[in-house]
Amino acid sequence: MNRASFFSPQAGRVIDAPLRTRARFAIGDVVRHRLHDFRGVVFDIDPVFANSEEWYQAIPAEVRPKRDQPFYHLLAESDDSSYVAYVSQQNLTGDADGGPVDHPSLSQMFDDYDNGRYQLRPGLAH
């Protein structure tokens, strides 16, 4: 299998990843966590786990996700706060029917909510 490497600021190291992965969600999609009561907008995708080892080990072993799947950076909201979340693909489900997300950083990255998703502002793609 072809592999690629990228530097992850969260992990503080170079991450080895498959050249191709199958991300179920795209930047701008609205998603909901399967286990916890929050939802958010995808603003970046890592092809495999690319956060710190401390972060990974802090997840209880019985619910710890596999590393070899896409992980999503979300502008997340719950009933009482807004924050940035990092979630494995296995723990997300689509939530386009849930309406717009209320996060203070949305307007910095995305244009208006339309047809169940947000459009990335021009010039922000990498």
pLDDT higher than threshold 90 for residue 82: yes
Dmax of the chain from CA atoms? 44
Given a cut of 60, whether residue 126 has pLDDT beyond it is no
Domains and CATH numbers, the chain: 22-120 (2.30.30.390)
The residue-averaged pLDDT of 87-103 equals: 94
Q: How far apart are CA 119 and CA 87, in angstroms?
A: 21
Please tell me whether residue 13 adopts helix, strand or coil conformation.
Answer: strand
Report the C-alpha gap between 51 and 103 in whole angstroms. Answer: 22
Predicted structure pTM score: 0.85
Which burial class, exposed, middle or buried, applies to 120 when counting CB atoms under 10 A from its CB (0-12, 13-18, 19+)?
Answer: middle
How does pLDDT run across 9-68, given as a tens digit for each residue? 676 667 666 666 789 999 999 999 999 999 999 999 999 999 999 999 999 999 999 998
User: Does residue 1 carry a pLDDT above 60?
Assistant: no
Residue 10: which of 69, 59, 71, 68 has the closest Cα?
A: 71
Higher pLDDT, residue 102 or 20: 102
pLDDT of 96 reads: 85
Over residues 62-91, mean pLDDT:
95
Lowest mean pLDDT among 2-11, 54-63, 68-77, 85-94: 2-11
